[in-house]
Amino acid sequence: MAGTFELWVDKGGDWRFNLKATNGQVIATSQGYASKASALGGIESVKNNAPGAEVVEIGK
């Protein structure tokens, strides 16, 4: 089973999404987007880019 994307409008009127793991834990939160279409584009970007994403340690 895959995770779930939750899409909503915040108090300031921006569209945002969370990526939730199968256990319900939020594992990623988006920036604010001015439109629903832009937020959906952000979700598609995560779907397309994350499976092969490299882990890079940048500091302690």
Does some domain include residue 28? yes
Does some domain include residue 7? yes
Residue 30 has a pLDDT of: 97
Residue 39 has a pLDDT of: 98
Between 1 and 48, whose confidence is greater? 48
Does some domain include residue 5? yes
Does some domain include residue 45? no
Sheet of strand 26-29: strand arrangement: 4-9, 15-20, 26-29
Residue 46 has a pLDDT of: 93
Does some domain include residue 42? no
Does some domain include residue 10? yes
Does some domain include residue 57? no
Query: How many domains, in total, are found in the chain?
Result: 1
Domain extent for 14 = 1-33
Across the range 44-57, mean pLDDT stands at 89
Residue 50 has a pLDDT of: 84
Q: Single out the residue of 59, 53, 12, 58 nearest to residue 27, CA to CA.
A: 53
| pTM listed for this prediction | 0.83
